[in-house]
């Protein structure tokens, strides 16, 4: 499964690199920070990440591309009460490398919204990764700087989603 996804991602990169010769294409990189929510809030306290994406302008209102990066969600120490006993447990950091197709819509020059959908590879031990999706809303502060708000989710299995509410800053290169 991972080989199929890796091959697909490679082919997407080759395709987007080939069509990059068209006028409006851009590469963005930046930092994100967030708070785990839902299931993830029980085992993690804070998340930091690196975001990289490449977009190709299909039209004035639409960009398509590829998104990747790195997400580290810091494990949390918790005390659990079991009857008369209290047990302290420490959760490991969760780390992901997302690989996703990306779409952005531009209703105005400054404002944009879209989504990244793909697979997040789990980096830490015991983390196989899972289906990844990330709705995002962004606003251009200047011509080459953007802030965004997003909600990243990795579906690790049928019963557990690792979700993070995030804020980020991106720079156009």
Domain containing 37 equals: 2-172
Nearby residues of 80 by Cβ (< 8 Å), 6 or more positions away: 86, 87, 88, 89
What CATH code is carried by the domain that includes residue 87?
A: 2.40.160.20
Q: Is the pLDDT of residue 20 over 70?
A: no
Q: Choose between 82 and 135: higher pLDDT.
A: 135
Domain count for the chain, please give it: 1
pLDDT greater than 80 at residue 13: no
pTM of the shown model: 0.79
């Amino acid at each position: 499964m991972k080989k199929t996804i890796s091959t697909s991602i490679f082919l997407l990169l080759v395709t987007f690199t080939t069509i990059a010769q068209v006028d409006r294409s851009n590469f963005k990189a930046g930092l994100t920070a967030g708070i785990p929510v839902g299931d993830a809030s029980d085992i993690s306290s804070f998340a930091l990440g690196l975001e990289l994406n490449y977009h190709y302008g299909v039209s004035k209102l639409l960009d398509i591309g590829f998104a990747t990066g790195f997400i580290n969600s810091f494990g949390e120490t918790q005390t659990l009460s079991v009857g008369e006993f209290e047990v302290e447990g420490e959760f490991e950091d969760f780390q992901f490398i997302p690989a996703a197709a990306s779409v952005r819509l531009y209703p105005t020059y400054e404002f944009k919204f879209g989504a990244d959908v793909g697979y997040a590879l789990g980096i830490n031990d015991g983390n196989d990764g899972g289906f990844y999706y990330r709705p995002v809303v962004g606003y251009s502060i200047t011509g080459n700087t953007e802030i965004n708000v997003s909600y990243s989710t990795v579906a690790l299995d049928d019963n557990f989603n690792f979700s993070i509410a995030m804020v980020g800053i991106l720079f156009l290169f």
